[in-house]
Amino acid sequence: MMYWQEEIETMNRSDLEELQLKRLKKTIESAKNSSHYGKLFSELNITSENIHSLDDLRKIPFTTKDDLRNCYPFGMASIPLKDCVRIHSSSGTTGNPTVVLHSKKDLDEWANQVARCMYMVGLRDTDVFQNTSGYGMFTGGLGFQYGAEKLGALTVPAAAGNTKRQIKFITDFGTTCLHIIPSYATRLAEVFYELGIDPRKETKLKTICIGAEPHSEEQRKRIEQLLGVKAYNCFGMSEMNGPGVAFECTEQNGLHIWEDYVIVEIIDPVTLEPVPDGTIGELVLTTINREAMPLFRYRTRDLTRIIPGTCPCGRTHKRLDRFKGRSDDMIILKGVNIFPIQIEKILMNFKELANNYLITIETVGNSDEMQVEVEISDLFTDDYSTLQKLSKNITHQLKDELLITPRLKLVAKGSLPVQEGKAIRVRDLRKF
Amino acid sequence: MMYWQEEIETMNRSDLEELQLKRLKKTIESAKNSSHYGKLFSELNITSENIHSLDDLRKIPFTTKDDLRNCYPFGMASIPLKDCVRIHSSSGTTGNPTVVLHSKKDLDEWANQVARCMYMVGLRDTDVFQNTSGYGMFTGGLGFQYGAEKLGALTVPAAAGNTKRQIKFITDFGTTCLHIIPSYATRLAEVFYELGIDPRKETKLKTICIGAEPHSEEQRKRIEQLLGVKAYNCFGMSEMNGPGVAFECTEQNGLHIWEDYVIVEIIDPVTLEPVPDGTIGELVLTTINREAMPLFRYRTRDLTRIIPGTCPCGRTHKRLDRFKGRSDDMIILKGVNIFPIQIEKILMNFKELANNYLITIETVGNSDEMQVEVEISDLFTDDYSTLQKLSKNITHQLKDELLITPRLKLVAKGSLPVQEGKAIRVRDLRKF
């Protein structure tokens, strides 16, 4: 058996879209019971009868994180609270927390989504799955726990922390699969080698599910080599339950997003219009298989694109590309959408450059201009003509990527401001 | 509906014992597949056919924590590992860890046990249940989570720590029930009052499940008054799954132990013979409804007694009294079993005494004698005749409780050794 649910996973697109439409209508019916959507749908005269095609979804306004906050705690519930069996709440470090409610059926469907993902990367009931996530409110804990149990794997609910204990569990219980964040996977490998244990030879590890933290293809490869495993990218967010929304298959080329659970849109975060497949934009999701708290056209703020074409694995559900950052980071310059990560990607390709850079946008005369300052590496030359050649080369590549030409300034190492915590990469000094 | 499972909970004793026998035989059959019991049963010729009555259970030797350790990790498994879906492991701070394995059915039965307990104290699907336990390997987390979801309550998986956040959840989500350890319940109440919130009036709290930590009736009453709740004592141990083994009903007079899940014995920890109902001894449990890892006659080391008589709640399952300590703490003197807690209980009744005391057993001539030293309170008199009168009174009460007469020594406050960490209360200097 190649698939957890072959019929669903390999369903032809027209049947899948028909299923989506049916579920969308049903979801609209039940969402009328929530105080938020009830009011909205009645104002806009949205009923399941008015939705004739998936395109009609666009009659419904977007839902944002602010909507969720304004509905705190239970304004989004579409069923009575007595029929809900779990709350997951964000920490609410900035503003009101957001809350997601689940019915028994919702938890079972969520577990099914996760089991489907795990099965897709080759895990079976003979596997031993160790979860290094925190539990409690963090959805990576209970989400993977229920999914792995549904799959029938032997679960080791190790929870976060205590690396030596994690390693004891891995070796003693014959753990074959870990759920782990990428930075911790690297740390785990280090401790393995410190203890004189070669995880590639002296454990049964073969698969790891990495998520919750952005990471590059290079980082994935490094983790795979250190631990002797295949590492699969997983995407989840608590507003969409948690883990299991999208997951790589063994092709490791894009994350299948389960379209029997969500309707996917990719929009231009400025015009809010759909972008064609292959173009980067903001991921917008509509739940069509959740009863306690459906969300319509939820703006995830995550930037990605649909990978065009079909996947050799046979699954027909669309593939999301590796995430490109957050739409909040987007810069609009001369009508062009620019993401800092596009600039970073180019700069990081030059060995001559150090890690620190700063993007400044300012109004010069009647025009808005971009300046990119980047530190050069300690070991690099101070020969003027070499520097000029380098500068030209970088500028050329930036122009190719961004479609505008920034002013590039190579500066000495240590001359850009150093920030504590998350680096500030963009200064916008424009006069609006 | 008064009961979660009326037929089982109020089953007449003879039917219940018939059910136990049937399940015991079935469990013996399946345990033959474990390497531990397989060997043992074959050596002792124990088969389900040889078990004709519940008394025949005594043909099977006790299982101890050391047996569990020696079987680490999977020597107790009675089903193939691929049919197990969860491992709970102790931390193994002293020696090898112990491991308990669960099948899907086991997890479902465990959830049912917990749901039955929660229903018994009045919780329903309209309740909001907040779990302040740690999750992961600690069974109080996932154990209560699954049980409360099975009950249909709205669960708030808060996990341990962050008291202000716990309080925000309690107030925002309308939490009606907490699972909490007694010392943390007191702390929680303090923080409520520090924040100017009266938990008795400004929350919906009405029920708390307290366990995992020994506590007195006075402590329970105090918690009930501070939080404006009813507090119910719960008993669980990871070897017996975790929470849900025994739980108080609304009578608050003993913990019903679910005899369709376990067979209860109370034994004298020295002679290992059964003691009559009402007599304190060591609790010994046999699982009769667990398939992945049955345990026969497991010596829990916990001291308690069966409360004689029937319970007004109508449940026929036996009631365990509040736990009296650990059998490892027992002193045998002149053929009498004495538990330090019996002495402490008497001493703590005297306001004239401070908290520190020390019990010394030594051989004097041909006889073993007990000396009890206890500090007197700072504020108390040093008048000789008053002290003598007090001493007489305490000695008299100790004799009544212990049936032997210890030598009592009242000492000045601060004169007994002070220990870091867990206090050492007993010095045994006997020559054996």
Which pLDDT tens digit goes with each residue over B202-227?
A: 999 999 999 867 677 878 998 999 99
- Residues 6 or more apart whose CB falls under 8 angstroms from that of A397 comprise A346, A349
Dmax over CA atoms of chain A, in Å, equals: 73
Residue of higher predicted confidence among A332 and A167: A167
What is the percentage of chain B residues whose pLDDT exceeds 70?
97
- What are the helix (H) ranges across B84-195? 104-120, 139-151, 163-173, 182-194
Residue of higher predicted confidence among B233 and B329: B233
- Residues of A whose CB is below 8 A from B153: 85
Instruction: Using CA atoms of B86, B91, B96, B102 in order, give the dihedral in degrees to the nearest 10.
Output: -10
Q: How far is A212 from chain B (nearest CA, A)?
A: 19
A149–B86 C-beta distance less than 8 A: yes
Q: Would you list the DSSP string of B140-157? A: HHHHHHHHHHHHT-EEE-
Residues B308 and B423 grouped into a single domain: no
Residues A201 and A239 grouped into a single domain: yes
Give the span between the Cα atoms of B234 and B220, in whole angstroms.
12
- Which long-range CB contacts under 8 A does A398-401 form with residues at least 24 apart? A398/A343, A398/A346, A398/A372, A401/A342, A401/A343, A401/A345, A401/A346
Q: Is the Cβ of A154 closer than 8 Å to some Cβ of chain B?
A: yes
Q: Is the Cβ of B38 closer than 8 Å to some Cβ of chain A?
A: no
B135–A87 C-beta distance less than 8 A: no
Give the span between the Cα atoms of A342 and A329, in whole angstroms.
11
Name the band, by pLDDT with cuts 50, 70 and 90, for residue A93: low
CA atoms within a 13 Å half-sphere pointing along the CA-CB vector of B263:
26
- The owner of tokens 């005749």 is B385
Q: Is the Cβ of B172 closer than 8 Å to some Cβ of chain A?
A: yes
| Residues B137, A86, B89: CA angle, nearest 5 degrees | 5
CA atoms within a 13 Å half-sphere pointing along the CA-CB vector of B225:
6
B142–A157 C-beta distance less than 8 A: yes
Q: What share of chain B is helix, strand, coil (3-state, %, to 5)?
A: 35, 25, 40
- Residues of B whose CB is below 8 A from A86: 149, 154-155, 157
How high is the pLDDT of residue A257? 98
pLDDT at A116 over 80: yes
- Residues of B whose CB is below 8 A from A108: none
Q: Is the Cβ of B136 closer than 8 Å to some Cβ of chain A?
A: yes
Write out the E strands in B261-339. Answer: 262-267, 281-287, 298-304, 319-320, 325-326, 331-333, 336-338
Q: Predicted ipTM?
A: 0.85
- Residues of B whose CB is below 8 A from A135: 135-136, 141-142, 157, 159
Tell me the pairing of strands A281-287 and A262-267.
antiparallel
How high is the pLDDT of residue A92? 67
Map chain A to HEC letters.
Answer: CCCCCHHHHCCCHHHHHHHHHHHHHHHHHHHCCCHHHHHHHHHHCCCHHHCCCHHHHHHCCCECHHHHHHCCCCCCCCCCHHHEEEEEECCCCCCCCCEEEEEHHHHHHHHHHHHHHHHHCCCCCCCEEEECCCCCCCHHHHHHHHHHHHHCCEEECCCCCCHHHHHHHHHHHCCCEEEECHHHHHHHHHHHHHCCCCHHHHCCCCEEEEECCCCCHHHHHHHHHHHCCEEEEEECCHHHCCCCCEEECCCCCCEEECCCCEEEEEECCCCCCECCCCCCEEEEEEECCCCCCCCCCEEEEEEECECCCCCCCCCCCCEECCCCEEHHHCEEECCEEECHHHHHHHHCCCCCEEEEEEEEEEEECCEEEEEEEEEECCCCCCCHHHHHHHHHHHHHHHHHHHCCCCEEEEECCCCCCCCCCCCCCEEECCCC
For residue B154, give the nearest of A87, A91, A157 by CB distance: A87
B157–A86 C-beta distance less than 8 A: yes
For the segment A186-208, the average pLDDT, to the nearest whole number, is 96
Residues A369 and A404 grouped into a single domain: yes
Helix (H) or strand (E) holding B363: strand B353-364
What is the percentage of chain B residues whose pLDDT exceeds 90?
74
Q: How far is B269 from chain A (nearest CA, A)?
A: 33
Q: How far is A193 from chain B (nearest CA, A)?
A: 23
Residues A244 and A150 grouped into a single domain: yes
- CATH number of the domain bearing residue B139: 3.40.50.12780
Residues A253 and A321 grouped into a single domain: yes
Q: Is the Cβ of B105 closer than 8 Å to some Cβ of chain A?
A: no
A149–B104 C-beta distance less than 8 A: yes
Q: How far is B84 from chain A (nearest CA, A)?
A: 6
Decide if B34 contacts B27 (C-beta within 8 A).
Answer: no
How high is the pLDDT of residue A207? 98
Give the span between the Cα atoms of B290 and B262, in whole angstroms.
9
How high is the pLDDT of residue B228? 98
| Residues B388, B389, B395: CA angle, nearest 5 degrees | 85
- Which long-range CB contacts under 8 A does A375-380 form with residues at least 24 apart? A375/A410, A375/A411, A375/A412, A375/A413, A375/A414, A375/A415, A375/A416, A376/A352, A376/A410, A376/A411, A376/A412, A376/A413, A377/A351, A377/A352, A377/A353, A377/A413, A378/A354, A378/A413, A380/A352
Q: Is the Cβ of A76 closer than 8 Å to some Cβ of chain B?
A: no
Q: Would you list the DSSP string of B389-403? A: HHHHHHHHHHHHHHS
Between A46-60, B81-95, B111-125, B159-173, the lowest mean confidence (pLDDT) is in B81-95
For residue A73, give the nearest of B153, B158, B172 by CB distance: B172
For the segment A400-428, the average pLDDT, to the nearest whole number, is 82
pLDDT at B381 over 90: no
Give the span between the Cα atoms of B391 and A86, in whole angstroms.
57
Q: How far is A82 from chain B (nearest CA, A)?
A: 5
For the segment B298-316, the average pLDDT, to the nearest whole number, is 96
- Residues 6 or more apart whose CB falls under 8 angstroms from that of A34 comprise A75, A76, A77, A78, A293, A294
pLDDT at B431 over 90: no
B155–A87 C-beta distance less than 8 A: yes
Residues B323 and B337 grouped into a single domain: no
- Residues of A whose CB is below 8 A from B80: none
Decide if A406 contacts A309 (C-beta within 8 A).
Answer: no
Q: How far is B85 from chain A (nearest CA, A)?
A: 4
- Residues 6 or more apart whose CB falls under 8 angstroms from that of A302 comprise A237, A282, A283, A323, A326, A327
- Residues of A whose CB is below 8 A from B83: 125, 152
A165–B91 C-beta distance less than 8 A: yes
Tokens of A28: 């609209």
Q: How far is B132 from chain A (nearest CA, A)?
A: 9
How high is the pLDDT of residue A40? 97
For the segment A299-313, the average pLDDT, to the nearest whole number, is 95
Tokens of A407: 């002013």
Q: Which residue of B has its CA nearest to A159?
A: B136
CA A269 to chain centre: 16
CA atoms within a 13 Å half-sphere pointing along the CA-CB vector of B46:
23
Q: How far is B169 from chain A (nearest CA, A)?
A: 9
- Residues 6 or more apart whose CB falls under 8 angstroms from that of B359 comprise B331, B340, B343, B370, B371, B372, B406, B425, B426, B427
Q: Is the Cβ of B126 closer than 8 Å to some Cβ of chain A?
A: yes
Tokens of A32: 């009328």
User: First-to-last CA distance in chain B?
Assistant: 59
Selected for mutation to probe chain A from B137, B146, B175 (highest A CB count within 10 Å) is B137
Residues B136 and B195 grouped into a single domain: yes
The model's pLDDT over B17-43, given as tens digits with 9 standing for 90+, comes to: 999 999 999 999 999 999 999 999 999
Residues B264 and B297 grouped into a single domain: yes
Tokens of A413: 């190492």
Give the span between the Cα atoms of B372 and B374, in whole angstroms.
6
Residues A337 and A400 grouped into a single domain: yes
How high is the pLDDT of residue A234? 95
Residues A410 and A308 grouped into a single domain: no
Domain endpoint, select from B327, B360, B393: B327
Beta bridge partners of B360: B371, B427
- Residues of B whose CB is below 8 A from A81: 126, 128, 154
Residue of higher predicted confidence among B334 and A310: A310
Between A299-313, B150-164, B192-206, B216-230, the lowest mean confidence (pLDDT) is in B216-230
- How many A×B Cβ pairs under 8 Å? 105
- Residues of B whose CB is below 8 A from A111: none
Helix (H) or strand (E) holding B359: strand B353-364
CA B368 to chain centre: 32
Count of domains in chain A?
2
Q: Is the Cβ of B212 closer than 8 Å to some Cβ of chain A?
A: no
B155–A86 C-beta distance less than 8 A: yes
Q: How far is A239 from chain B (nearest CA, A)?
A: 16
A173–B87 C-beta distance less than 8 A: yes
- Residues 6 or more apart whose CB falls under 8 angstroms from that of B271 comprise none
Q: Which residue of A has its CA nearest to B159?
A: A136
- Single-letter amino acid code for the residue at A387: L
Name the band, by pLDDT with cuts 50, 70 and 90, for residue A106: very high
Name the band, by pLDDT with cuts 50, 70 and 90, for residue A225: very high
Decide: helix, strand or coil at residue B21: helix
For the segment B348-372, the average pLDDT, to the nearest whole number, is 87
Helix (H) or strand (E) holding B361: strand B353-364
- CATH number of the domain bearing residue B403: 3.30.300.30
Closest C-alpha to B81, from B103, B109, B107: B103
pLDDT at B422 over 60: no
Domain endpoint, select from B311, B327, B343: B327
How high is the pLDDT of residue A201? 97
Residue A337: domain span: 331-428
pLDDT at A228 over 90: yes
For residue A157, give the nearest of B81, B86, B104 by CB distance: B86
Domain endpoint, select from A274, A308, A326: A326
For residue B136, give the nearest of A135, A148, A173 by CB distance: A135
- Length of chain A, please? 432
pLDDT at A100 over 90: yes
Q: Is the Cβ of A38 closer than 8 Å to some Cβ of chain B?
A: no
pLDDT at A421 over 70: no
Selected for mutation to probe chain A from B103, B132, B145 (highest A CB count within 10 Å) is B145
- Residues of A whose CB is below 8 A from B160: 136
Give, in order, the Cα–Cα distances in Å from B275 to each of B53, B254, B296, B327. 19, 18, 18, 14
A104–B72 C-beta distance less than 8 A: no
B125–A83 C-beta distance less than 8 A: yes
For residue A84, give the nearest of B154, B157, B160 by CB distance: B154
How high is the pLDDT of residue B94? 65
Q: Is the Cβ of A72 closer than 8 Å to some Cβ of chain B?
A: yes
Residues B297 and B217 grouped into a single domain: yes
Residues B281 and B338 grouped into a single domain: no
- Length of chain B, please? 432
